[in-house]
């Protein structure tokens, strides 16, 4: 399809008629500021194609001018396939449509007929999806066109790839998909009637099976009834037979009753004889017991009498023995001696303590005196080492100043030449040399008086020396000494006194010991004296010895007394036991004598009734009678046993039991049969067979329907899968040629190191530039836009010719750098020159497209 | 003396093999045929009618079936004797013992509910061998013959039910043919009427299966009749005339299908079948069809289903292949991947999933609209 011309009036922001001519081959550049109607050109193309003139769709209403009362109108002229036509619409409630076909056969139509004819021509000659895909519209510049579904692109790629067939079969695929989705969800699960029938069929089959089950129950019940009735018949017959047998056996049993009677009598006699034998044996045993008892009583009496005699002897012997003496007197004597020794020992200890305290008192008092004297001396002498040090410093400073002034002073050397005394400062002097530190008067009395004055500068130093001397003397005075030497002596004395004070204080503390003061020590001395008391104090050693001896003696006496007491207690206890034994022996002897007398009396009374021989004979007689009776019983039992009486009796019992069991079973059977018949009567009328038939019929209906639907469903699935599978494979085959087409154009834009990877949907997955591969989504906005343009131009170029559609680029390359833009434009020029693609560029910034060199250029105002 | 012999009415039998719509008609047909038997008996001036077992299809039927049967029997002018068979045996759950039966049984209807002799007219008596359970352990006919009392001078009609020994040797209840023919030969009985076999059959001289009066299965060879039996009380001569009473037909139609001409034949054959709404057709189809032909067959059968009581392909006996040809889809303009898909499916026509592939191709054919075009 090639767009030749367009005319817009009252369309969106455009008022007056706007005519635009397009280059049929090559590039048309339409430039103009914003809101001059560039985008309206794109919109108008779509509206005139897709909407009827009378359409009230929102998109159509949106292009009505808002400032004037007028209908928007569009007129386009184009070539498509063999057709050359002009198509115009004025959009209004009663809009107008005009189609003029110029070639191949002139046609002129209006209204809906015009719209339908135009639509038919477009459908016949162009691909609307391709038409849309080739527009890179403002606002969505980064999107990639959806190319995979474009039939013309498929055809083109198929022809390049050597495919002899073409076509996307979109409609067929949609119909197949729709058919598939009638039966399955997109994820392949049965749905709709397919799923519903499967569920209903399962339920119906379950119901049918249940109904069959109920029927089978009835059949089983009927069979069971049949069996029960048969069993009852058998049992009834069996009971009659059993009754006859029991009667016969009972008769045979009666014949043996006489013998049983005899046995009973013999058993009674044997029982009586047994009892008599037992009584007589008991009497004989009692006689023997009485004799034994008497013997035993006699023996016990002899033993008791012997014991009694022995006990009496033991008591006498014990009482004859003497007990130990009373120990109390010895204890008292030893105690008195111990107390005395303790007192003496205490006095001796007090004496020792007194002596010690007196010694310490003497020492303490001496130390106290020495301390007080030292303290007095220290109070009188305040010259300590520190004071001496200070005085020594003062003395040194004075001496130093004096020496200095002496060194600086002139020296008078005096030499007496005769006998005439020479006075120096009024005194005869032998000194030959004398420093002049102050005016010196040398006088030879009567002869001459020479006054020598020191030089003036020396006067200050001399004054300083004098001041320091005076200071020294004042210090001596303050200390109460004449000079430094005396001060040193006093200081030594003071140091000595301090040592004595310290020593005496220590001595006093040692002498006081545990006492805190002298007075306390004196109190101790007094206390000790009181403890010693009057009289000569004892010798400590002797007192200690005496105390130890007394204590040992006392302990010995106490121990001996304890032993003696225990001995007497034991002797008393033995005596007590012996006396008790004697009493017991006496009582026992009396008791045993009485018992022996009783035994003798009882035996005598018994023998008076029957003597021993009579008793023995009676026992023998009874034993013989019993033996005879037992033999009689055995004889009758033998006869009964020979005639099988026991077996017969137990058989009668067993048969009677069996008969009762059978009769009980017969009653049970009757009840069971009644119960089954009742159940069958109730259930028989329920029409279970009908219910089962209906259920089976319902299941069969559903099964037929389900098989039909399932067959169709599986056919749809098979067809859908096979077609989809092949469509995928075909698309994969198109990827190669498409990649080549893009790479070819892309090298102009991106350079020789450019390549792309294409997905099955013909979208660009990655871009490779100089060895570096980047996924499309990670590319910059500029690169994405450039690849988008590349995809469209490559598609248009591949489709080309009459099958193609114009590439419309609305306000693109806003993201591109100047170099890249230049290259994109070069690529567009190159494609335009080939004459296969119609390119329409819309821009508000013409400078961007300076290098485009359009075939037609139109400026909008 | 004349009577009508019939058996195997199978009242209340299920119709799950039929589509829902035909089922009610099929059930009603069994009641209607009872009326017609009554009419035949009246027309033929029969003395009585005897039903040799399986009057009811089951003992566990809804009692409304009994009521409808009695409604039909109430119009009869001749007495009828009903023999319990294996389907409606006289067990504890027997329909004959139900209150609905005993309380409403019309005059003239008698159940032969014990083995033995039943005088019917002054000249004829019935010898009945009814069933008491689903699995008798002996030959009931032989049993009743063994205990047969001395002749009373009346002609005897044996009424029994079951297969003949020789068909099923393991069944202890099977009727021993030689015992029966022996009794017929020495005139202990004069004619024997047996139920169980649904096709009218003369098993031996004077030994007849009347068959079901209304067809029940495809395998029945000659159903839908009753027997009018003339018994000469003087000579004992027997003359049997089958009379058609059934309306339904179960048809098996074999059709070799190898092209459009065969499809034309099939269409014509089906078209010629009378009373289609009372006909069940079982088709055995063999041969090879192309995809369009197969689509045509499907369409043909779909249309036939609307007209027949039921029509279906007997898969077990059918062997119909579908042949895929590029030409079939050539006109449809399928190219590229679609053409490849067709090729793949066509190839699968000779594989294990041929049926599904054929269906898929048929669907493709339909979806591309070619099916309509070619019609």
| Residue-by-residue DSSP string for A186-211 | TTS-B-HHHHHHHHHHHHHHHHHHHH
CB pairs under 8 A between A and B: 157
What residues of chain B lie within 8 A of the CB of A715, using their CB?
Answer: 356, 359-360, 362-363
Predicted local confidence at residue B275, as pLDDT: 93
- SS3 sequence, A270-294? HHHHHHHHHHHHHHHHHHHHHHHHH
Question: B273 and B341, same structural domain?
Answer: yes
Quick: pLDDT tens for A4-20: 999 999 888 888 788 88
- Of A427 and A562, the one with more pLDDT: A562
Chain B residues closer than 8 Å to A719 by CB: 341, 345, 360-361, 363-364, 367
pLDDT range class, residue B373, cuts 50, 70, 90: very low
Min Cα separation B360/chain A (Å): 4
**A175: contact with B, CB 8 A cutoff:** yes
Q: Which is it for strands A448-452 and A440-444: parallel, antiparallel or unpaired?
A: antiparallel
What's the pLDDT score for residue A322? 62
What are the helix (H) ranges across chain B? 20-43, 63-74, 99-102, 140-146, 177-185, 260-272, 291-307, 326-330, 336-348, 354-367, 370-374
Which of B12, B93, B339 minimises the CB distance to A680?
B93
- Which is higher by pLDDT, A436 or B265? B265
**Interface contact A169-B16, CB threshold 8 A:** no
B190 and B270, same domain (yes or no): no
* DSSP code of residue B95: G
Question: Does B337 touch chain A if contact means CB atoms closer than 8 Å?
Answer: yes
Q: Which of the four pLDDT bands, split at 50, 70 and 90, describes residue B11? A: very high
pLDDT confidence bin for A213, thresholds 50/70/90: very high
Asked if residue B277 and residue B209 are part of one domain, the reply reads no
pLDDT at B213 over 50: yes
B209 and B352 housed in the same domain: no
Mean per-residue pLDDT, A765-784: 87
Residue B372: pLDDT over 50 = no
**Average model confidence (pLDDT) for chain A?**
85
Of B23, B133, B363, the CB nearest to A716: B363
Model confidence at B191: pLDDT above 90:
yes
Q: Which residues of A touch B100 (CB under 8 A)?
A: 685
**A712 and B99 in contact by Cβ < 8 A?**
no
Q: What tokens appear for A836 in the block? A: 């296969």
User: B266 falls in which pLDDT band (50, 70, 90)?
Assistant: very high
Nearest residue in A to B361, CA atom: A719
Q: Tell whether B95 lies on the interface with A, counting CB pairs under 8 A.
A: yes
Instruction: Looking at the structure, tell me whether residues B69 and B178 fall in a common domain.
Output: yes
Residue that terminates a domain, selected from B244, B265, B289: B244
For the segment A643-679, what is each residue's pLDDT rounded down to a tens digit? 787 888 888 888 899 999 999 999 999 999 999 888 8
In whole angstroms, give the CA distance from residue B193 to residue B229: 10
Range of lowest pLDDT (A43-57, A221-235, A440-454, B276-290): A440-454
Q: Is A704 on the interface with B (CB under 8 A)?
A: yes
Q: Judged by CB atoms within 8 Å, which residues 4-23 of B form the interface with A? A: 12-17, 19-20, 23
Q: Which of A701, A722, A729 to mutate to test the interface with B (most CBs of B within 10 A)?
A: A722
Q: Give the pLDDT band (50/70/90) at residue B273.
A: very high
Query: What mean pLDDT comes out for the span B24-28?
Result: 91
* Inter-chain touch A223–B134, beta carbons under 8 Å: yes
Tell whether B357 is within 8 A of chain A (Cβ).
yes
Task: Identify the helix (H) or strand (E) that includes residue A774.
Answer: strand A772-775
Chain A positions in Cβ-Cβ contact with residue B64 (cut-off 8 Å): 687
pLDDT band at A184 (very low <50, low <70, confident <90, very high): very high
CATH of the domain at B186: 3.60.21.10
Rounded mean pLDDT of A286-298? 87
Average pLDDT, whole number, for chain B? 90
**What residues of chain A lie within 8 A of the CB of B60, using their CB?**
215, 218, 683-684, 686-690, 692
Asked if the Cβ–Cβ distance from B338 to A686 is below 8 Å, we say no
Write down which residue in B223, B244, B265 finishes a domain. B244
- A779-796 per-position pLDDT tens digit: 888 888 888 888 888 888
Domain end position, chosen among B244, B279, B314: B244
Residues B100 and B210 in one domain: yes
Domain hosting residue B256, numbered range: 249-374
Lowest mean pLDDT among A78-87, A202-211, B89-98, B329-338: B329-338
Instruction: State yes or no: pLDDT of B261 exceeds 70.
Output: yes
Using pLDDT thresholds of 50, 70 and 90, give the confidence band for residue A165. very low
Whether A424 shows a pLDDT value over 60: the answer reads yes
- Same domain, yes or no, for B204 and B108? yes
Residue A108 has pLDDT above 80, yes or no: yes
Average pLDDT over residues A607-622: 85
Q: Please list the residues that pair with A841 across neighbouring strands.
A: A29, A809
Q: pLDDT at position A589, please?
A: 84
CB contact under 8 A, A226 and B15: no
What is the pLDDT, as a whole number, of residue A431? Answer: 60
Per-residue confidence band for A142, with pLDDT thresholds at 50, 70 and 90: low
Taking residues A150-166, report their average pLDDT.
Answer: 63
Q: Look at residue A39 in the predicted model and tell me its pLDDT.
A: 78
Closest chain A residue to B96, measured at CA: A684
A797–chain B nearest CA distance, Å: 22
Token duo for residue A656: 């009677």
- What long-range pairs does A504-511 form, CB within 8 A, spacing at least 24? A504/A367, A504/A368, A504/A370, A504/A371, A504/A374, A505/A367, A505/A371, A507/A363, A507/A366, A507/A367, A507/A370, A508/A364, A508/A367, A508/A368, A508/A371, A510/A363, A511/A360, A511/A361, A511/A363, A511/A364, A511/A367
Domains in chain B, number: 2
Residue A163 has pLDDT above 60, yes or no: no
Checking if the pLDDT of B255 tops 60, the result is yes
pLDDT, residue A764, reads 86
Could you give the CA distance from residue A488 to residue B167 in angstroms, rounded to a whole number?
170
Q: Which of A551-565, A778-792, B246-260 has the highest mean pLDDT?
A: B246-260
pLDDT, average across residues A692-696: 90
Residue A144 scores a pLDDT above 80: no
Residue A132 pLDDT exceeds 60? yes
Interface predicted TM-score (ipTM): 0.82
| pLDDT at A168 (0 to 100) | 59
Residue B43 has pLDDT above 90, yes or no: yes
Q: What letters, b where the CB count within 10 A reaches 16 and e where it falls short, cover B342-375?
A: bbebbebbeeeeeebbbbbbbbbbbbbebbeeee
Q: Which two tokens stand for residue A778?
A: 């990670």
For residue A166, pLDDT over 50 is answered with no
Please, which pLDDT band fits residue A139 given cuts at 50, 70 and 90? low
Given a cut of 70, whether residue B278 has pLDDT beyond it is yes
Tell me the percentage of chain A whose pLDDT exceeds 70: 96
| Cross-chain Cβ contact B360/A730 below 8 Å | no
Please tell me the predicted confidence (pLDDT) of residue A310: 87
Q: Specify the pLDDT at position A349.
A: 87
B100 shares a domain with B125: yes
Looking at chain A, the whole-number percentage of residues with pLDDT higher than 90 is: 15
Residue A131, pLDDT score:
80
Q: How far apart are CA A838 and CA A793, in angstroms?
A: 10
Count other C-beta atoms under 10 Å from residue A570's C-beta.
Answer: 9
Q: Give yes or no: residues B264 and B364 share one domain.
A: yes
| CA–CA min distance A657, chain B (Å) | 33
pLDDT of residue B70: 92
Q: Does residue A153 register a pLDDT over 80?
A: no
> Is the domain of B215 the same as that of B311?
no
Per CB-CB distance under 8 Å, the chain A contacts of B19 are 701, 704
pLDDT at position A56 over 80? yes
CA–CA separation, A693 and A259 (whole Å): 76
Buried b (16+ CB within 10 A) or exposed e, B110-134: ebbeebebbebeeebbbbbbbbbbe
Indicate if B221 and B255 belong to the same structural domain.
no
**Is A149 an interface residue toward B (CB < 8 Å)?**
no
Q: At B171, is the pLDDT very low, low, confident or very high (cuts 50, 70, 90)? A: confident
In terms of domains, do B83 and B107 share one? yes
Chain A residues touching residue B20 (CB < 8 angstroms) = 697, 701
A218 lies within 8 A of chain B by CB: yes
Phi, psi of A30 (to 5 degrees): -115, 115
Within 8 A by CB and 6+ apart from A135, the residues are: A42, A807, A808, A810
Q: Which CATH class is domain A2-164+729-859?
A: alpha beta
């Amino acid at each position: 399809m090639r767009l030749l011309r367009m005319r817009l009036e009252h369309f969106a922001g455009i008022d007056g008629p706007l005519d635009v001519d397009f280059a049929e081959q090559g590039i048309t550049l339409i430039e103009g500021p914003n809101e001059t109607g560039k985008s309206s050109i794109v919109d108008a193309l779509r509206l005139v194609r897709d909407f009827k003139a009378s359409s009230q769709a929102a998109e159509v209403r949106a292009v009505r001018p808002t400032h004037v009362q007028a209908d928007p109108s569009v007129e386009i002229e184009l070539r498509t396939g063999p057709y050359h036509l002009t198509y115009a619409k004025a959009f209004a409630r009663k809009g107008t449509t005009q189609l003029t076909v110029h070639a191949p056969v002139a046609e002129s139509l209006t209204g809906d007929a015009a719209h339908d004819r135009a639509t038919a021509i477009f459908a016949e000659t162009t691909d609307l999806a391709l038409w849309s895909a080739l527009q890179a519209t403002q606002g969505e510049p980064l999107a990639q066109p959806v190319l995979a579904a474009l039939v013309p692109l498929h055809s083109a790629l198929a022809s390049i790839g050597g495919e002899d067939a073409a076509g996307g079969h979109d409609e067929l695929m949609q119909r197949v998909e729709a058919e598939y989705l009638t039966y399955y969800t997109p994820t392949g699960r049965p749905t709709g009637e397919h799923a519903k029938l499967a569920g209903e069929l399962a339920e119906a089959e379950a119901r049918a099976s249940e109904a069959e089950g109920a029927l089978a129950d009835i059949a089983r019940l009927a069979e069971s009834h049949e069996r029960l009735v048969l069993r009852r018949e058998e049992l009834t017959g069996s009971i009659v037979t059993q009754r006859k047998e029991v009667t016969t056996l009972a008769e045979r049993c009666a014949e043996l009753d006489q013998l049983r009677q005899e046995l009973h009598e013999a058993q009674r006699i044997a029982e009586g004889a047994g009892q008599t034998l037992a009584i007589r044996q008991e009497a004989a045993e009692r006689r023997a017991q009485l004799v034994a008892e008497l013997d035993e009583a006699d023996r016990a009496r002899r033993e008791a009498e012997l014991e009694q005699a022995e006990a009496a002897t033991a008591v006498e012997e014990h009482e004859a023995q003497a007990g130990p003496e009373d120990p109390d007197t010895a204890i008292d004597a030893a105690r008195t001696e111990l107390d005395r020794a303790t007192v003496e020992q205490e006095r001796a200890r007090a004496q020792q303590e007194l002596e010690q305290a007196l010694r310490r008192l003497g020492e303490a008092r001496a130390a106290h005196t020495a301390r007080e004297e030292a303290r007095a001396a220290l109070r009188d002498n305040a010259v300590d080492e520190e004071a001496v040090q200070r005085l020594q410093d003062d003395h040194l400073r004075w001496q130093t100043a004096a020496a200095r002034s002496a060194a600086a002073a002139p020296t008078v050397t005096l030499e007496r030449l005769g006998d005439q005394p020479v006075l120096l400062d009024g005194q005869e002097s032998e000194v030959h040399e004398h420093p002049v530190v102050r005016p010196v008067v040398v006088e030879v009395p009567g002869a001459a008086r020479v006054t020598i004055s020191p030089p003036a500068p020396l006067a200050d130093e001399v004054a300083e020396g004098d001041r320091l001397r005076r200071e020294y003397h004042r210090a001596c005075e303050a200390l109460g000494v004449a000079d430094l030497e005396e001060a040193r002596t006093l200081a030594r004395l003071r140091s000595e006194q301090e040592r004595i004070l310290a020593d005496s204080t220590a001595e006093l503390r040692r002498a006081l010991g545990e006492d805190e003061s002298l007075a306390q020590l004196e109190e101790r001395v007094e206390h000790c004296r009181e403890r010693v008391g009057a009289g000569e104090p004892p010798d400590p050693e002797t007192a200690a010895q005496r105390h130890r001896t007394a204590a040992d003696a006392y302990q010995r006496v106490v121990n001996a007394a304890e032993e003696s007491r225990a001995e007497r207690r034991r002797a008393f206890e033995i005596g007590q036991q012996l006396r008790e034994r004697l009493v017991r022996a006496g009582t026992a002897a009396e008791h045993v004598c009485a018992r022996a007398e009783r035994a003798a009396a009882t035996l005598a009374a018994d023998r008076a009734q029957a003597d021993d021989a009579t008793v023995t004979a009676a026992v023998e007689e009874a034993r013989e009678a019993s033996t005879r009776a037992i033999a009689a019983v055995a004889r009758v039992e033998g006869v009964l046993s020979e005639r099988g009486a026991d077996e017969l009796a137990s058989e009668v019992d067993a048969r009677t039991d069996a008969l009762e069991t059978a009769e009980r079973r017969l009653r049970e059977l009757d009840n069971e049969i009644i119960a089954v018949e009742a159940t069958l009567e109730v259930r028989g009328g329920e029409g279970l067979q009908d219910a089962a038939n209906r259920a089976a019929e319902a299941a069969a209906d559903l099964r037929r329907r389900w098989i039909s639907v399932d067959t169709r469903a599986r056919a749809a699935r098979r067809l859908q899968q096979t077609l989809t599978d092949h469509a995928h494979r075909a698309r994969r085959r198109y990827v190669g040629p498409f990649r080549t087409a893009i790479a070819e154009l892309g090298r102009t834009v991106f350079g020789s190191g450019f390549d792309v990877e294409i997905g099955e949907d013909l979208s660009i997955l990655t871009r490779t530039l100089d060895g570096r591969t980047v996924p499309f989504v990670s590319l910059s906005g500029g690169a994405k836009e450039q690849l988008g343009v590349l995809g469209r131009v490559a598609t248009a170029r591949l489709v080309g010719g009459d099958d193609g559609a114009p590439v419309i680029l609305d306000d693109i390359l806003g993201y591109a750098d100047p170099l890249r833009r230049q290259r994109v434009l070069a690529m567009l020029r190159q494609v335009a020159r080939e004459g296969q693609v119609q390119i329409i560029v819309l821009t508000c910034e013409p400078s961007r497209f300076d290098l485009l060199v359009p075939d037609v250029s139109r400026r909008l105002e | 003396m004349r009577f009508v012999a019939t058996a195997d009415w199978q009242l209340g039998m299920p119709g799950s093999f039929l589509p829902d719509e035909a089922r009610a008609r099929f059930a009603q047909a069994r009641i209607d045929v009872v009326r017609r038997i009554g009419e035949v008996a009246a027309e033929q001036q029969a003395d009585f009618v005897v039903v040799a077992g399986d009057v009811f299809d089951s003992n566990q039927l809804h009692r409304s079936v009994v009521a409808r049967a009695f409604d039909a029997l109430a119009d009869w002018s001749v007495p009828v004797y009903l023999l319990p068979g294996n389907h409606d045996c006289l067990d504890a759950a027997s329909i004959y013992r139900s209150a609905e039966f005993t309380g409403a049984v019309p005059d003239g209807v008698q159940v032969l509910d014990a083995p033995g002799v039943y005088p019917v007219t002054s000249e004829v008596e019935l010898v009945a061998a009814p069933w008491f359970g689903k699995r008798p352990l002996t030959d009931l006919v032989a049993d009743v013959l063994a205990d047969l009392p001395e002749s009373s001078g009346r002609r005897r009609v044996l009424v029994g039910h079951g297969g003949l020994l020789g068909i099923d040797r393991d069944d202890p209840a099977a009727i021993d043919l030689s015992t029966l023919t022996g009794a017929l030969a020495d005139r202990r009985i004069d004619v024997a009427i047996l139920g169980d076999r649904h096709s009218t059959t003369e098993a031996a001289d004077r030994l007849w299966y009347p068959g079901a009066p209304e067809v029940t299965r495809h395998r029945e060879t000659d159903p839908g009749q009753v027997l009018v039996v003339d018994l000469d009380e003087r000579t004992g001569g027997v003359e049997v005339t089958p009379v058609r009473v059934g309306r339904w037909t179960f048809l098996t139609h074999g059709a070799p299908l190898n092209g459009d001409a065969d499809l034309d034949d099939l269409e014509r054959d089906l078209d010629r079948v009378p009373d289609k709404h009372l006909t069940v057709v079982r088709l055995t189809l063999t041969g090879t069809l192309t995809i369009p032909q197969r689509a045509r067959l499907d369409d043909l059968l779909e249309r036939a289903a609307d007209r027949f009581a039921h029509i279906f392909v007997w898969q077990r006996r059918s062997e119909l292949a579908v042949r895929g040809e590029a030409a079939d889809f050539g006109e449809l303009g399928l190219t590229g991947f679609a053409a490849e898909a067709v090729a793949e499916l066509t190839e699968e026509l000779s594989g294990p999933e041929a049926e599904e592939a054929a269906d898929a191709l048929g669907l493709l054919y339909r979806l591309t609209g070619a099916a309509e075009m070619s019609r």
